[in-house]
Amino acid sequence: MLLHNTLTRVTQEFSPIDPGAVTLYTCGPTVYNYYHIGNLRNAVFNDTLRRALQGAGYNVLHVMNITDVGHLVSDADDGEDKLEKGAKREGKTVWEVAEYYTDCFKHDMAAMNVIPPNGYKSSAYHDTYARATEFIPDQIKMVKRLLENGFAYITKQAIYFDISKSPDYGKLSGQTLSSKETAVRSEVVTDGEKRSPHDFAVWFFAVGTFSGHTMQWETPWGKGFPGWHLECSAIIHATLGDPIDIHTGGIDHIGTHHPNEIAQTQGAYSHELARFWMHNEFMLVDGTKMAKSKGNSYTLRDITDRGFHPLAYRLLILQAHYRSEINFTWESLSAAQNTLLNLYAWADLKHQQNLAEVRLSDTDIPEFLDRVKTALSDDLATTAALSEIFRYSTSLAPGMTLPADDFDILLSELDLLLGLKLNGRPNITGEQQAIIADRETARIAKDWAKADKLRTKLAKHQLEVSDTPNGPRWRRTSL
Ligand code: AMP
Ligand code: ZN
């Protein structure tokens, strides 16, 4: 399998450290607001990677965190904690805010058919996401190691990672510290004792602006809460063990968050954090970055409110390579929805077995599936994988019947790889089947008026019938 590694900047052959399981970690949501469609692109990218690895025969252990503490409004060390800000906005406690948006996030993941992580099981929440607040002892242990190893120092306000101790800090981003310096905004340096603006907090003390911080934990150095970057390193160490095989995120994490994770693990445990780093490009809206202020920061709810299916959005994402920008427009979503309808019309032939025209043979199916898997093994070439499916699903040969079980297996295999839910779609109802049969009888009797009336009736059921030499075919006109 070939994967593009941000760390080496080349697309290289992937093989896991332990052939028994690929260890995969993904930075998860900060649960203070709804996920937007850009975040959902990241979720679909992770899911596609996981499915492609599984399709290539690997067992995958996947851990994803949920940031329910410590993420300040800026990714640097200034601003309010996002959770505290959300709590004020909504008149709720931080715990309620975290719980609410975690549920929303999980709902979105299910709607987008994203496989939940499986590499960790939370006993407190009975789910498989690793919440930062469940790993406080691990984070404190990490701070202790960083202090003992001389990679961190204490001020009155916080404990900072000392970047000068990490000479290869820029190896992921390719940025030198001096070039990063110019990008650091002056107001970030709010702590006079901070040695360099690049140093980042691994622990904040509940003093000054944070004295009223709701989430606080005891440490040997004072009460407080963890810095945002710390949790990922600590969770990886505690669950999958470092180094892991693959770490993923969106491209915005290449500059700060991921280098900080790498530096922390190196400083605390003298380990590389991950061998492969993979990053998805951005989802733009109308050619620009999404922003609440511009009113173009859509959620999945906005998509479904306009009558689109979540999996139409999934298909829109898959139609581009994960390392290319996508420009979201309602027109492109509408086109993706039509394409999904066409794919579903093909899959629905399953229910029209005795009349099926799908050209499949014993050798056809494995060869076709191999072509789809080969595309995905080429750095997740989803565009090429979908082209294979479109070509196959439209190359019908009239009169050839299809072994029902084979078609069923084929659709399930495609679902495992792309998550578009082609299989398991319900048949039309008995009432709808009876209308189709009545219409066919009327047509044979040349009672065109009745046949037309029944066609109109079917349209109300969102069904369209076409007459073929082998009998009537139905397809759904909406998702
Ligand atoms: P956040 O909650 O901001 O950390 O974002 C969750 C994930 O979504 C991260 O991996 C981000 O890199 C990614 N992400 C954020 N905005 C976008 C976007 N517009 N397009 C694609 N991915 C994004
Ligand atoms: Zn992270």
Residue 390's identity, in one-letter code, is F
Q: Which run of H or of E encompasses 247?
A: strand 244-250
Rounded CA separation 120/130 (Å) = 7
- Confirm or reject: Cβ of 142 under 6 Å from ligand 1: no
Ligand nearest to the CA of 278: 1
Distance 42 CA to ligand 1 centre (A): 6
What residue spans of 34-192 are helical by DSSP H? 37-55, 82-90, 94-111, 136-148, 177-183
Q: Which residue type occupies 196?
A: S
Would you state the pLDDT for residue 220? 96
How does 280-291 read in b/e, with b if 16+ C-beta sit within 10 Å? Answer: bbbbbbeeeebe
User: What's the 373 CA to ligand 2 centre distance in angstroms?
Assistant: 29
Residue 323 Cβ inside 6 Å of ligand 1? The answer reads no
Give which of 477, 479, 474, 423 is closest to 311, Cα–Cα: 479
Q: Which atom of ligand 1 is nearest to the CA of 28?
A: 6
Across residues 296-315, what is the average pLDDT? 96
For the ranges 242-256, 280-294, 399-413, 463-477, which has the lowest average pLDDT?
399-413
Both tokens of 115, joined, read 């496989």
Query: What separation in Å is there between the alpha carbon of 148 and the centre of ligand 1?
Result: 34
pLDDT for residue 182: 45
- Secondary structure of 59-74 in the HEC alphabet? CEEEEEEEECCCCECC
The CB of 29 under 6 Å from ligand 1? The reply is yes
Average pLDDT estimate for 134-155: 97
- Atom 12 in ligand 1: residue holding the nearest Cα: 250
Residue 280: DSSP 8-state: E
The verdict on pTM exceeding 0.85 is yes
**Do you find a cis peptide bond into 243, omega within 30 degrees of 0?**
yes
Task: Check pLDDT > 90 for residue 397.
Answer: no
Closest C-alpha to ligand 1, atom 19? 38
> Distance from the CA of 31 to the center of ligand 2, in angstroms?
14
Measured from the Cα of 326, ligand 1's closest atom is 20
Burial class (CB in 10 A: 0-12, 13-18, 19+), 264: buried
